[in-house]
């Protein structure tokens, strides 16, 4: 699987605006019909799905990935303490015409002069197990995000599967809190790996 990162973009000169929308409330931007920058790719979404035609191999079987974003995956909260909310969202890529997750990303946008801008990126991938240690579980692709209003922090929730879990339903998870320090996101704390409630 590709290296997983939490994508933010701070510099307008480098990343630019995703879409030209002059708004006063970031909640009014429809990020499911939007052009997102995921790592080095610019990807257009329509109704929550990447606008792309799935390639097919010689036998007519779809190949490649397609990104998706659901409205329920978008959260809002003031991460930088300026009194205005940022938009936080988790996206996944699936095999074309399938439901197996092949990649993921978390994007967070800030409203600057009526337009959504991304801030710098940092890694959030956590396999939950020390190298060389037998842990009895493995990381399950896909994360969720939440906003901790008390800490003004972004919370990334990662999931883990045991050998007894169905592929759809990982039984373990861990939350990690990240704070914006004005330049980048810094990990502040993380929970133990515990059972999903």
Query: Could you tell me the pLDDT band of residue 110, with boundaries at 50, 70 and 90?
Result: very high
pLDDT at 34: 97
Range of the domain at 39: 5-195
pLDDT > 50? residue 18: no
**Total domains present in the chain:** 1
Q: What is the overall mean pLDDT for the chain?
A: 88
What is the per-residue burial (b if ≥16 Cβ within 10 Å, else e) of 56-75? Answer: eeeeeeeeebbbbbeeebbb
Higher per-residue confidence, 147 vs 101 = 147
Residues 6+ apart with CB under 8 A from 15: 9, 37, 117, 118
**Predicted model pTM:** 0.85
Structure-token pair, residue 182: 């004005």
pLDDT at 64: 85
pLDDT at 87: 97
Considering only 3-7, 18-22, 107-111, which range has the smallest mean pLDDT? Answer: 3-7
What backbone torsions phi and psi does residue 147 show, to the nearest 5 degrees? -115, 130
Residue with tokens 């810094």: 186
Q: What does the pLDDT look like over 177-194, one tens digit per residue?
A: 999 999 999 999 999 999
pLDDT > 90? residue 132: no
pLDDT at 13: 34
Average confidence (pLDDT) over 140-169? 95
pLDDT > 60? residue 99: yes
Considering only 93-102, 106-115, 169-178, which range has the smallest mean pLDDT? Answer: 93-102
pLDDT at 149: 97
pLDDT > 80? residue 1: no
Cβ proximity of 6 and 123 under 8 Å: yes
């Amino acid at each position: 699987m590709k290296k997983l990162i939490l994508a933010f973009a701070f510099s307008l000169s480098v990343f630019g605006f995703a879409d030209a929308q002059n708004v006063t409330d970031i909640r009014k931007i429809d990020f499911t019909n939007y052009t997102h920058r995921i790592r080095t790719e610019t990807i257009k979404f329509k109704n929550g799905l990447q606008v792309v035609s799935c390639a097919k191999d010689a036998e007519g079987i779809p190949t490649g990935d397609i990104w998706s974003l659901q409205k329920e995956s978008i959260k809002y909260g003031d991460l930088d303490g300026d009194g205005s909310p940022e938009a936080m969202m988790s996206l996944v890529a699936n095999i074309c015409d399938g439901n197996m997750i092949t990649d993921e990303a978390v994007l967070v946008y800030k409203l600057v002069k009526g337009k959504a801008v991304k801030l710098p990126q940092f890694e959030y991938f956590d396999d939950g197990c020390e190298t060389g240690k037998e842990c009895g579980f493995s990381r399950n692709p896909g994360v969720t995000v939440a906003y901790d209003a008390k800490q003004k922090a972004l919370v990334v929730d990662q999931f883990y599967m045991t050998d007894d879990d169905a592929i759809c339903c990982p039984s373990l998870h861990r939350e990690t809190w990240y704070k914006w320090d004005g330049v980048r996101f810094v990990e502040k704390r993380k929970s133990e790996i515990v059972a999903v409630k």
